[in-house]
Structure 1
């Protein structure tokens, strides 16, 4: 019985990531919205905090955020085999689409209708990314922790006002997180 549940879980994981990846256009942060809706809101496999943590890990790790997030969700649900199944479901749609596009690249590149469709998709992608930013930012605001709010505000200012590379922002935020965890242990916790 347990083996059937495991097979069902792997099958559900594969088809969920395949579906999400098939309808995700515009980059990695778009997939985070779909993953949250599927794995947090619909299937209840993850909590919002776990999804937020996985998004931070996926973004700060080398590689595509979609693949990184799939690895983390798959690993969380079913270990190494779950990670492999989730990655396979995530990479199949773009691999197939890009293979077809590469065969007909010249025709696609010069077609004005394709250019118009892509322009329209850019606007939709921008809206989805804004949705992700607002949703994740809302979670930070709900925590009501001054340090988290300051880090978020500083990250926005560094990005949009001073054009600081996102890698430095992630490293600085990670360092602050480490200090936040390490310093209370070093000095002893007050109860």
Structure 2
């Protein structure tokens, strides 16, 4: 009975920490999903050690490939790993609450915000910061791939960049092709291990 009570308290503590973390990340992140990736890495990988760096790369791939916001998808994966369904619900609530409240407030005062010079300039200034954070995310993710020296992954990364930037191939096609290549690699590596 005592062990069960300790487990319940431990789970409650993890859920509370997860809620506060996702609430904080969601409330203070401007600029979309890729901006939150760096902050999630700092919080979940470096600070709390809830997930490994390799898992973070997988999480980003899953979050990007799945429909919906990257922040919510990423929070779902971390929440599920930590506390199952309760973790998923907690992470979703923590991630969705700040934007919901902010958008509700903005909708009430939309006319006043739209015409305010200071807020317009503030949002323009944030764009530069968002660009820098996205560049940092790309750098960190590329560094994680190149450290492993898996040439297939490096070639895929470079090819995806060229296809998107130089050839202007829609990102959805690049993501679908990369998913197909990842599944193929996994299936082939699984067959190779079974033969041994």
Shorter-chain TM-score bucket reads over 0.9
Confirm whether residue 23 of structure 1 aligns to residue 25 of structure 2: no
1:175 counterpart residue number: 180
The whole-number CA distance in structure 2 between the counterparts of 1:188 and 1:86 is 36
Counterparts in 2 of 1:120-159, with a 5 A limit?
120-159=125-164
Q: In the alignment, which of 50, 54, 59 is matched to residue 59 of structure 2?
A: 54
Q: In the alignment, which of 84, 88, 102 is matched to residue 79 of structure 1?
A: 84
Q: Shift of the alpha carbon at 1:112?
A: 1.5
Q: Shift of the alpha carbon at 1:87?
A: 0.7
Distance 1:189 1:146, change over 3 A: farther
The whole-number CA distance in structure 1 between the counterparts of 2:171 and 2:117 is 34
| Structure 2: stretches of 5+ with no match in the other structure | 1-5
Q: Shift of the alpha carbon at 1:13?
A: 0.3
With the length of structure 1 as denominator, give the TM-score of the two structures. Answer: 0.96
Q: Shift of the alpha carbon at 1:188?
A: 6.5
Confirm whether residue 107 of structure 1 aligns to residue 112 of structure 2: yes
The whole-number CA distance in structure 2 between the counterparts of 1:190 and 1:109 is 64
Deviations 1:36-69 (A, max 9, x none): 0001000011100011101100000001111111
Instruction: Count residues in correspondence.
Output: 191
With the length of structure 2 as denominator, give the TM-score of the two structures. Answer: 0.94
The whole-number CA distance in structure 2 between the counterparts of 1:187 and 1:71 is 32
Distance 1:67 1:185, change over 3 A: closer
Deviations 1:116-157 (A, max 9, x none): 000000100111111111001100111101100000000100
Q: Shift of the alpha carbon at 1:183?
A: 2.5
2:3 counterpart residue number: none
Confirm whether residue 64 of structure 1 aligns to residue 69 of structure 2: yes
Deviations 1:74-113 (A, max 9, x none): 0011001101001100011110010000001111111121
